[in-house]
Amino acid sequence: MNAPDLSCSTLLLVDDEEANLDLLEGILAGSGLGNLLRTQNPFQAVELARQHRPDLVLLDLHMPGMTGFDVLRALREMDEPGDYRPVLVLTADVTPEARDTALGEGARDFLTKPFDIVEVLLRVRNLLETRQLYLQARRATEARERILGVVAHDLRNPLASITMQSEMVLQTLSPRSSPYVRDALSNIQQTSGQMYRLVEDLLDVAQLEGAGGRASVDLAEVDVHELLCTARGMLQPIAAGRKLTLDVDAPAGLRALADGARVVQVLSNLVGNAIKFTPTGGRITIGAAPDDACVRISVADTGHGIPAEHLPHVFGAFWQGDTADRRGAGLGLSIASALVAAHGGRMWVESEVGRGTTVHFTVPAADVLVAVPAGRGGQMVEVLTSA
């Protein structure tokens, strides 16, 4: 792989001593390291960073009016979550406290004055190369998300049409129809249905990534038993087709503060997984119970179980325990866990090989004060319901 081109990088030099700026500018310009901005005013440094979005900031710590620590905090606040814009601190303060505080405030590297020219150039190049690799990865991710969204969106309607029309034709076939025709139509219906669900998962992933991994929820008081019965009604035909029993085990009157449609979506993913991995004749139970200030909802199956070494990975996107399994893309649990997190809840798995798996998740009970993530900024929204 070729080294990143650093000549187009933008560097911001901040030091209240003009002689230091002259020295740094001479070193960096002589090495062909990008476009250089400089200022002796830390307040102006923040504004220059906002206007020019530099790839690297070289920052002194002790300046009049506004310290380098203040500049670090201001830079961190203007960056988007997950952004990587390195700051190299160059200071005459050799105390461990200064170093620890600077790194704690977001500096990526720290050198003391007087500095070695070769070492400065090496540190600057390393930080700029990391910045360029980060930008390349972000562009690749954004391109993938755009392609994913466009392709999935354009595939959804045709696949839905194929699924519905093949099902309609199946229902209108006479008993004397050819078994070959019936099997072929059934295969078309099942395969297109699987593809449709995959497209829905891909769209959910694209939406979540576009929102910084945070799902939107519309919280309202819901009857948990009714919600679980709704999910069972939707999923029962699929379970019956695999000759599986699908039960609901939840007390009447249990109420939660949740987005009902999102909870049903979580249950659809969890029950769908359970159906795939539970042998014919098995049982799947959708349950719920009060759990302190939450309602704990669970999906238990009598399937094959998950090996202990796989449990830490099950919520990762695109992860599958068996790479030869082509019944999905490994997105269901990742999407479900993001939806649960949007409620301020948590999700976990209990499993034993040969005995089955239970996936639990929590949502707030309907009579408590809850805080759930809202938006990309990670702010919290408080919702208070009556007891």
All structural domains of the chain with their residue ranges: 10-115, 139-210, 220-383
Per-residue model confidence (pLDDT) at position 207: 62
pTM of the model: 0.52
Q: Tell me, what's the pLDDT at 89? A: 96
pLDDT value at residue 72: 95
Structure tokens at 226: 């009714």
Strands 356-364 vs 220-223: parallel, antiparallel or unpaired: unpaired
CA distances (Å), origin 301, targets 59, 103, 124, 282, 382: 58, 48, 55, 7, 35
Same fold, 10-115 and 220-383: no
What does the pLDDT read at residue 384?
35
- Stretches in the chain below the pLDDT threshold 70: 1-4, 148-149, 152, 194, 197-198, 200-216, 313, 316-332, 368-387
Amino acid at 13: L
Tokens of 124: 């600057």
pLDDT on residue 19: 93
pLDDT tens for each residue of 90-127: 999 999 999 999 999 999 999 999 889 999 999 999 99
Class of domain 220-383: alpha beta
CATH of domain 10-115: 3.40.50.2300
Helices (H), the chain: 18-30, 42-52, 68-78, 96-104, 117-172, 179-210, 224-241, 260-276, 332-342
Q: How high is the pLDDT of residue 324?
A: 45
Predicted local distance difference test score (pLDDT) of residue 326: 41
Q: What is the pLDDT of residues 304-363, one digit of tens each?
A: 888 888 777 677 554 455 544 444 445 667 778 888 888 889 999 999 888 899 999 999
